[in-house]
């Protein structure tokens, strides 16, 4: 099962369910509350709050079926742009929240900084292969975590390969960063927060307008999602949520992450940490890799994963999605995975992990948080990853993976 099983661009009514899965709901809730108590005791209360914040992100991602992978795929293959427009709303809100704060350097007395990285060959190549991996693996970084939590057994394969690819990318990163690159460029620093914000809002609006024009040209109208089977409190607790509601919630939760962590939301640096720790257990001399050379990184490598902000938020995402799936009555793992689909998950996961390290992040750390930080590398990532998705979408059928299309009017 891929993230598209939860986040195909259109019909959320396919996500109907039976009653609430009470045992799994209780298990997930206990994991969230118990994990928060444990982290608060062994690390600190702020780390526990970030864990709970991760759980909230997982619940939002699942209930809104907020997929980056499927949204890009159905636009590429079928010109349906609802998912892309929701992403533009998310980026617009996040940029409006982030830019003044990043320019000031603090939020409610807490020092904050954006995720701004160099833009060069490594970002272009890394984002491009990440885009291919999105379509073969069946999800992006956030999509992989929330669909694992939602019960997708195929995505466990993608996640395992993702972690392995991240560790390999960490081992090779010093070679890639030696290739030609621009320095770290922040639009907020270069232009000031308001000029940079005006520029980004104009680009978001232009992208949304293009999706509207192309969707109407293909389908004669904007393709509407089917109505939700639930309303009111039941819809809030059990889903499905409108995509725009998910976009708003993700922007607000990323802003909360900026306050609590001092920097925006990221996902895949934790995968490099987990993979490197596993490699060290196997017998690799991970500590000699330049990636882990700094004292701060050495402390991460040698310390508990509970001390790592990204790790605890990732754990929270999985449990939050598990809770959402159980509340929706949709947690029902299946273990029969076609061989070609499993092969695509392995290849896709490796590309995702390796590409994320080279590109200084994934669809969250580089695309969402990078652009919300005003980083030029976030925009470079978007373009390169989109072209990777184009190629990945064309490759999917060779692995027996679906490319969703709506029947054209009059056909």
pLDDT over 90 percentage in the chain: 84
Q: What is the mean pLDDT of residues 382-410?
A: 90
Structure tokens at 405: 């299309």
Judge whether 144 and 318 are in contact, CB under 8 Å: no
pLDDT in the model for residue 409: 52
Q: How far is CA 53 from CA 31, 56, 242, 289, in A?
A: 14, 5, 20, 32
Q: What is the mean pLDDT of residues 88-95?
A: 98
pLDDT at 1 over 70: no
7: Cα separation from own chain's centroid = 13
Beta partners for 118? 184
pLDDT at 55 over 50: yes
Rounded to whole angstroms, the Cα distance separating 338 from 362 reads 27
Of the candidates 129, 189, 186, 156, the residue with the CA atom closest to the CA atom of residue 353: 129
pLDDT in the model for residue 7: 36
pLDDT at 20 over 90: no
Backbone φ and ψ for 343, nearest 5 degrees, come out as -65, -40
Rounded to whole angstroms, the Cα distance separating 208 from 222 reads 12
**Torsional sign, CA 230, 231, 234, 238:** positive
Dump pLDDT digits (tens) for 306-359: 999 999 999 999 999 999 999 988 887 878 899 999 999 999 999 999 999 999
pLDDT in the model for residue 236: 77
- Residue for token pair 């899965």: 21
Mean pLDDT of the chain: 92
The conformation of residue 70, written as its DSSP 8-state character, comes to H
pLDDT in the model for residue 408: 61
Peptide bond into 134 cis (omega under 30): no
Here the contacts of 72-76 (C-beta below 8 Å, separation 24 or greater) are 72/131, 72/134, 72/386, 72/389, 72/393, 73/4, 73/135, 73/389, 73/393, 73/396, 73/403, 73/404, 74/8, 74/9, 74/10, 74/404, 74/405, 75/9, 75/211, 75/214, 76/389, 76/390, 76/393
Rounded to whole angstroms, the Cα distance separating 10 from 220 reads 16
Dump pLDDT digits (tens) for 214-235: 999 999 999 987 777 878 777 7
For 37: left if phi > 0, alpha if psi spans -120 to 50, otherwise beta; the answer is alpha
Rounded to whole angstroms, the Cα distance separating 363 from 356 reads 9
pTM score: 0.93
Better-predicted residue by pLDDT, 276 or 336: 276
pLDDT in the model for residue 4: 37
Q: What is the mean pLDDT of residues 57-64?
A: 94
pLDDT in the model for residue 5: 36
Dump pLDDT digits (tens) for 31-42: 999 999 999 999
pLDDT at 10 over 50: no
Q: What is the mean pLDDT of residues 293-303?
A: 94
pLDDT at 411 over 70: no
Rounded to whole angstroms, the Cα distance separating 251 from 271 reads 23
Better-predicted residue by pLDDT, 122 or 411: 122
Q: What is the mean pLDDT of residues 110-117?
A: 96
H helices of 115-242, in order, are: 121-137, 141-149, 154-177, 187-191, 193-219, 232-238
Structure tokens at 309: 């902000």
Question: Per-residue confidence at 6, pLDDT binned at 50, 70, 90?
Answer: very low
Q: What is the mean pLDDT of residues 162-167?
A: 98
Judge whether 222 and 10 are in contact, CB under 8 Å: no
Q: What is the mean pLDDT of residues 272-282?
A: 97
pLDDT in the model for residue 18: 58
pLDDT in the model for residue 3: 39
pLDDT in the model for residue 11: 33
Dump pLDDT digits (tens) for 172-227: 999 999 999 999 999 999 999 999 999 999 999 999 999 999 999 999 999 987 77
Q: What is the mean pLDDT of residues 266-291?
A: 97
267: Cα separation from own chain's centroid = 7
Rounded to whole angstroms, the Cα distance separating 44 from 312 reads 12
Q: What is the mean pLDDT of residues 99-122?
A: 96
pLDDT in the model for residue 2: 38
């Amino acid at each position: 099962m891929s993230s598209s099983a939860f986040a195909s661009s259109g019909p959320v009514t396919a996500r109907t369910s039976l009653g609430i899965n009470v045992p799994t709901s209780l298990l997930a809730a206990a994991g969230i509350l118990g994990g928060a108590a444990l982290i608060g005791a062994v690390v600190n209360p702020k780390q526990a709050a970030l864990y709970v914040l991760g759980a909230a992100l997982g619940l939002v991602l699942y209930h809104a079926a907020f997929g980056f992978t499927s949204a890009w795929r159905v636009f590429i293959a079928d010109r349906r742009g609802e998912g892309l427009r929701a992403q533009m709303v998310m980026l617009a809100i996040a940029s409006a929240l982030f830019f003044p704060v990043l320019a000031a350097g603090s939020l409610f007395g807490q020092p904050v900084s954006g995720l701004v990285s160099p833009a060069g060959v490594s970002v272009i190549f890394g984002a491009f292969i990440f885009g291919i991996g999105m379509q073969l693996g069946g999800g992006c970084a956030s999509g992989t975590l929330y669909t694992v939590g939602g019960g997708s057994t195929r995505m466990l394969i993608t996640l395992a390969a993702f972690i392995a690819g991240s560790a390999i990318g960490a081992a090779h990163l010093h070679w890639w960063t030696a290739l030609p690159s621009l320095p770290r460029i922040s639009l907020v620093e270069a232009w000031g927060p308001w000029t940079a914000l005006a520029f980004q809002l104009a680009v978001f609006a232009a992208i949304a307008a293009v999706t509207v024009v192309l969707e109407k040209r293909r389908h004669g109208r904007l393709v509407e999602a089917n109505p939700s089977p639930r309303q009111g409190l039941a819809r809030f607790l059990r889903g499905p949520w409108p995509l725009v509601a998910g976009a708003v919630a993700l922007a607000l939760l990323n802003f909360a992450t900026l306050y609590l962590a001092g920097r925006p939301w990221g996902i895949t640096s934790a995968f490099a940490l987990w993979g490197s720790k596993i490699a060290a257990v196997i017998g690799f001399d991970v500590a000699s890799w330049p990636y882990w050379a700094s004292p701060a990184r050495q402390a991460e490598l040698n310390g508990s994963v509970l001390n790592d902000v990204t790790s605890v938020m990732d754990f929270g995402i999985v449990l939050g999605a598990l809770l959402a799936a159980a509340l929706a009555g949709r947690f029902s793992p299946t273990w029969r995975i076609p061989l070609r689909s499993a092969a695509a998950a392995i290849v896709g996961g490796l590309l995702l992990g390796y590409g994320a390290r080279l590109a200084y992040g994934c669809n969250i750390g580089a695309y969402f948080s990078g652009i919300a930080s005003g980083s030029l590398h976030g925009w470079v990532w978007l373009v390169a990853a989109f072209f990777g998705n184009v190629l990945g979408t064309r490759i999917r059928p060779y692995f027996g993976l679906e490319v969703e299309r709506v029947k054209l009017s009059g056909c």
